[in-house]
A and B are shown apart, each in its own frame.
Chain A
Amino acid sequence: MTPRSGKPLSGIRIADFTVHAAGPFCTHMLSQLGAECIKIESAQRLDIFRKPHAVYGRAGPATFDQVASNKLSVRLNLKHPEGVALARRLVAASDVAAESFRAGVMERLGLGYADLCQVKPDIVMTSVSSSGQTGPDSHFAGYAPLFGAWGGLGHLTGYEDGPPVEMRHVMDHSVGMNAALATVAALHRRRRTGEGSHVDIAAREVASSLAGDALTAASAGVRMHRMGNADPQRAPHGLYASRQHDRWLSIAVSSDDEWAALTGIIGKPELASDPRYANAAARVAARDEVDAVVANWAAFVEADEAAEMLQEAGIAAHVSWRAEDIARDPHLAERGAVVSVSETDGGHRMAVGFPARFSGTDAPGLDRGTPGLGEHEEYVYGEILGLGRADRARLVEDRVIY
C-alpha cells in the first residue's frame, strides 16, 4: 500500500454533543487519533464541566481543558427548531455523532438515531449514558461513583474490614475509552457493510466489565469480597512505606525466583531456602510474616532507588506516583504520554497525550488547546455547511447560533 500521511483517523469528522466527562473523553481520544471533532455547545446551557462545582472543594472548573483540547467549538441552541435543523446538517456532514445525554433526550430534541439516519443513512451514533439506552433504569442519571457502585467495582474495592470505595474520574474516562473503541469498530463495520449503527455504551456496564472476572466467579457460586491490597496468589504483594513521608513502594512477587532475588536485596538470603516460604502458596499462607519482613526493610530505603534495584532483579516494583512524578517523568515525556499544550493566549500547560505510539502514521496527540466557546464557527458553519456571512449573522441574531 502506498504510504500516506495523517493521523490514524484523519478524515473522520465527529459532531460532538457530549457533555461532562465520559462522553467528552471518548471524542477526546478520537480527536487525538486525528478525527475532526466539532464540540457543540450553547451559552444557554454550557457543558457543566466548563463551570465549577463546590462539592469537589475547588473554586474553578479544573476538569474541562484536558478533554476539550484539540476540539473545534461552535455554539448551537438545540432548544430552537432552527438549531435542531442546523445540528442535522452538521450530522449530515459528519461520520460520527456522539452524545451523552440521558437516554431519550436526543429523541426529544429531534436528534434521535432514526432522525439522524434520515439525514445521514450510514451515521455512526455513539450514545454514552449511565445505564444504557434500554432497560428499566435507562432514565437514571449518574456520575462516576454511581457507575462504580452499580457495576460492582465499588463493592469489591476496599480494605477487607472497611466500606466500599467510590470510583472517581478514572471511571468516567474508562467509559470514554471503551466508547472510543466501539466507535472505531462501528466505523469498520460501516466500511465493510455500508451501514451505520447506534453504539450504546452504558457506564455501569463498563464498571461491571472491569470487575468481570469476579462476576464470572460469583456466577458459579464463588464468594467474592473486598481484600485490600492482598492478592490470592502472590505474597509479598502490597504497598510498603519507605523512609520518606507518604512515599510508598508497590511490590508484587509472583515466582520463587523473584522471591529468592528479593531475599537477597532485603538482606535476608536465608529466607530463600526457608521452607515456610518455599512457594507462592506457602508465602500467601504466611502473608503477614512475609509482609512484615519486607516492610521492615522498606522502612529504611529511598523509594525510587529501591524500585530501580528491584526492577534490575526482575521484580515487579514501582513507587506510588503522585501527579508530580508523572509530570516530571522522562519516560512518559519521551513516549508522548504526557505533552505540553499551547493555549491561544500563548500559555502552556501539561496534558495527557494518546496512550500508544504508531510507526506508520503521524503521531496522535494535541495540536491545540481549549477552544473558546464558538471559536470555530466560521470554519464549521461557513466552510463545512456553506452558510454565508449574512445567514450566520441572522442565526446569531435569532439566538440559533447562541
Chain B
Amino acid sequence: MQQDTPLAGIRVVEHAAGVAGAWAGRLLAAMGAEVIMVEPPTLCPLRKEAPLFANGESALFEYVAAGKRSVVCDLETAVGRDVLAALLDTAQILIDDTPLQQRPQWGLDREGVAARHPDLVHLSVLPFGASGPKAGWTASEINLIHAGGEGYLLPNGLSAHLFPDRPPLKIAGHFAELQGGVAAALSALSALWFGTGQFVDASVQDANVAVGAFALQRYGDGSIEHRHTRSFRYGGVIECRDGYVELLTLEERQWQGLVHLMDDPEWARDEELNDPVTRSERGDAINAAIRAWAREHDVEELVARAQKLGVPMARYNTPEQILTGGHETARGTFQDVDVPGVGEVKIQAAPFRFSEAPLALSAAAPAPGADQDLVTSGAAAASRAGAAARTATA
C-alpha cells in the first residue's frame, strides 16, 4: 500500500449490492483505504451487471471493485455474523446498503452495530435514505435520476428539438447512483474527521437533489424549468460534417470569437447582435445559421480554431477517443489493469489526484473470497475474542 495516499491506514468494510454503496467504497479504495467487500455466498450482484466484457464478466464490477478485497461471508448464520463483527472490530468505516427491513436479521441494524462497535462510522447508503416516509422505497438508476429532478429536464437542446414528443431521458450509465456514492463517501470521511463513532444516513435521492440544486432555486424564483425550454438560446450540441461538438459562449469576447470562427458572416454584422439580450431573443435564427455553417466543417478543424479564438467548444468524444486521448495519456488518467480472462483493460482510478501523479489502484477487482484469510486467521481469532468480550460485558 502506498503510505502517502490520503487514506492509508483506514480500513473500510463494504457490504454493498448496489452501485452507490460500491462507488463510495471504491473512491475510498482509490485514495488508499483498505476496502474489504463482504459478499454473500451468492456473491455481489454487481458481478453480473452490464456492461459486460466479451467473456461475460462485468466491466461495471471491474470498474467499481478495482483495488478492493473480497471476503465471502454468510450473514444468515451466526458464524457469518461473528466474522463480520470481527472485521468491524478492526475497521473505521462500515458501508452498507442492505434494505432497512433486512438489517436486523443480518446484524446490520443501526442500534446493534452501534452497541457492538461504538467507534465505527456506520455509513448507510440507500436510494431514499434510512429515515423519512420513503425510507423503505426501492429504486433503480432510472428511478433515481427522476426522483432527483434532473431526469425530467432531459434531454434538452438538440435532442429535445429533434424529438419533442419522446419521454424524458436518463443520463447514460449510473450517473445518479454514482452521485449518491460520492456524497456518501464525503459524508463518511467527514464523520470520521469529527472523530465520533456514529450512524451516517446517506440518500441517493438527496445527493441528486443536491447536484440538481438550481432547479429548486429557480422554482423559488418563479422560473419553471422544462426540457423543451432549458436549451441554450444558441450553441449547444452542434452537428458537424463528421461528428458533434458542444458550443457555449457565455462571455461577450467568446461570442466575438465565434463570429470570427464563422469567418464574420454577413448576418453577424448586424449591430443589434452586439446586445446579448437581442442575441438571446434571436437565438433560433442564430442557431440555424450556426448549424448550417457547422455542417460544412470537420470537428477537428473547428475545435482547433475555436481554441485559438477563445471560443469554448469541445468534441463529443467517443470512449475510444478518450481512452487514447493525448491529454488523458499525458495525465495518466487511465491505469492499465490486467483482468484475468479479459486481458489488459484501462480503468480510471479517480477523478482527482493529490499531486501531479494520478492515484493508483492497487489491484484488479478481487475474485470472490480472494482475501478469505483475513477472516480465517487473525480476524477469526479477534472474532472469538470480541465475541467473548461482548458476552462478558453483556
On whether A233 and B190 interact (CB within 8 A), knowing A141-B312, A158-B159, A198-B354, the answer reads no
Contacts of A166 in B (CB 8 A): 156-157, 236-237, 246
B84 within 8 A of A: no
Contacts of B86 in A (CB 8 A): none
Contacts of B313 in A (CB 8 A): 146
Distance in angstroms from A112 CB to nearest chain B CB is 13
CB-defined A-B contacts under 8 Å, sample of 7: A131-B327, A154-B237, A159-B159, A174-B182, A322-B149, A355-B180, A355-B209
Contacts of B229 in A (CB 8 A): 57
Contacts of A210 in B (CB 8 A): 171, 173-175, 178
On whether A55 and B235 interact (CB within 8 A), knowing A135-B327, A146-B312, A232-B50, the answer reads yes
Distance in angstroms from A47 CB to nearest chain B CB is 13
**B-side binding surface: helix, strand, loop or mixed?**
mixed
Further pairs besides A60-B221, A184-B190: 4, Cβ < 8 Å: A150-B314, A210-B171, A353-B210, A356-B129
Distance in angstroms from B299 CB to nearest chain A CB is 11
**Interface segment out of the listed A36-44, A80-88, A358-366:** A358-366
Contacts of A198 in B (CB 8 A): 354-355
On whether A237 and B327 interact (CB within 8 A), knowing A321-B147, A351-B217, A358-B187, the answer reads no
Report whether B235 and A217 are in contact in the complex, using a CB–CB cutoff of 8 Å: no
A162 within 8 A of B: yes
B379 within 8 A of A: no
Ordered nearest first, which 3 A-B pairs have the shortest CB separation? A360-B198, A355-B206, A252-B140
Report whether B152 and A163 are in contact in the complex, using a CB–CB cutoff of 8 Å: no
Report whether B131 and A152 are in contact in the complex, using a CB–CB cutoff of 8 Å: no
Chain A 25-61: CB-based contact to B (< 8 A → 1; otherwise 0): 1000100010000000000000010000111111010
**Interface segment out of the listed A238-246, A268-276, A381-389, A393-401:** A238-246
B356 within 8 A of A: yes
Q: Enumerate B345-383 residues with CB–CB distance to A below 8 Å.
A: 345-348, 350-356
Which one of A177, A209, A318, A326 lies within 8 Å of B207 (CB-CB)?
Answer: A177
**Interface segment out of the listed B36-44, B53-61, B71-79, B259-267:** B53-61
A185 within 8 A of B: yes
Q: Enumerate B3-29 residues with CB–CB distance to A below 8 Å.
A: 4-10, 27
A105 within 8 A of B: no
Distance in angstroms from B45 CB to nearest chain A CB is 9
Contacts of B237 in A (CB 8 A): 154, 163-166
Report whether A316 and B196 are in contact in the complex, using a CB–CB cutoff of 8 Å: no
Q: Enumerate B144-191 residues with CB–CB distance to A below 8 Å.
A: 144, 146-159, 162-163, 166-175, 178-180, 182-187, 189-191
On whether A136 and B327 interact (CB within 8 A), knowing A55-B280, A56-B232, the answer reads yes
Q: In the complex, how many residues of chain A place their beta carbon closer than 8 angstroms to a beta carbon of chain B?
A: 153
A19 within 8 A of B: no
Distance in angstroms from A187 CB to nearest chain B CB is 6
Report whether B175 and A228 are in contact in the complex, using a CB–CB cutoff of 8 Å: no
Distance in angstroms from B60 CB to nearest chain A CB is 4
A202 within 8 A of B: yes
Distance in angstroms from B298 CB to nearest chain A CB is 16
Contacts of B64 in A (CB 8 A): 212-213
A294 within 8 A of B: no
Q: In the complex, how many residues of chain B place their beta carbon closer than 8 angstroms to a beta carbon of chain A?
A: 162
Which one of A143, A154, A205, A217 lies within 8 Å of B59 (CB-CB)?
Answer: A217
- Considering the complex, give the chain A residue whose CB is closest to the CB of B320: A218
Which one of B131, B218, B245, B350 lies within 8 Å of A149 (CB-CB)?
Answer: B245
Which one of A159, A206, A254 lies within 8 Å of B169 (CB-CB)?
Answer: A159
Report whether B232 and A219 are in contact in the complex, using a CB–CB cutoff of 8 Å: no
Contacts of A357 in B (CB 8 A): 129, 131, 200-201
Which one of B53, B171, B219, B353 lies within 8 Å of A220 (CB-CB)?
Answer: B53
Taken together as a complex, chains A and B put the C-alpha atoms of A80 and B251 apart, in Å, by: 24
B319 within 8 A of A: yes
Distance in angstroms from B59 CB to nearest chain A CB is 4
Report whether A55 and B53 are in contact in the complex, using a CB–CB cutoff of 8 Å: no
Report whether A157 and B4 are in contact in the complex, using a CB–CB cutoff of 8 Å: no
Report whether A361 and B323 are in contact in the complex, using a CB–CB cutoff of 8 Å: no
Report whether B143 and A252 are in contact in the complex, using a CB–CB cutoff of 8 Å: yes
A94 within 8 A of B: no
A250 within 8 A of B: yes
A72 within 8 A of B: no
Which one of B157, B208, B225 lies within 8 Å of A165 (CB-CB)?
Answer: B157
Contacts of B60 in A (CB 8 A): 213, 216-217
A169 within 8 A of B: yes
B97 within 8 A of A: no
On whether A319 and B146 interact (CB within 8 A), knowing A179-B352, A352-B216, the answer reads yes
Taken together as a complex, chains A and B put the C-alpha atoms of A135 and B356 apart, in Å, by: 10
Distance in angstroms from B127 CB to nearest chain A CB is 8
Taken together as a complex, chains A and B put the C-alpha atoms of A98 and B62 apart, in Å, by: 33
Which one of B166, B194, B245, B249 lies within 8 Å of A361 (CB-CB)?
Answer: B194
Taken together as a complex, chains A and B put the C-alpha atoms of A25 and B214 apart, in Å, by: 11
Report whether A205 and B348 are in contact in the complex, using a CB–CB cutoff of 8 Å: yes
Contacts of B159 in A (CB 8 A): 158-159, 162-163, 165
Q: Enumerate A236-285 residues with CB–CB distance to B below 8 Å.
A: 237-241, 248, 250-252, 254
Report whether A359 and B246 are in contact in the complex, using a CB–CB cutoff of 8 Å: no
Report whether B211 and A177 are in contact in the complex, using a CB–CB cutoff of 8 Å: yes
Report whether A331 and B8 are in contact in the complex, using a CB–CB cutoff of 8 Å: no
Distance in angstroms from B200 CB to nearest chain A CB is 6
A337 within 8 A of B: yes
Q: Enumerate A320-361 residues with CB–CB distance to B below 8 Å.
A: 320-327, 330-332, 334-335, 337-338, 349-361
- Considering the complex, give the chain B residue whose CB is closest to the CB of A324: B219
Taken together as a complex, chains A and B put the C-alpha atoms of A67 and B237 apart, in Å, by: 27
Distance in angstroms from B350 CB to nearest chain A CB is 7
Contacts of B312 in A (CB 8 A): 141-143, 146
Report whether A337 and B352 are in contact in the complex, using a CB–CB cutoff of 8 Å: no
A153 within 8 A of B: yes
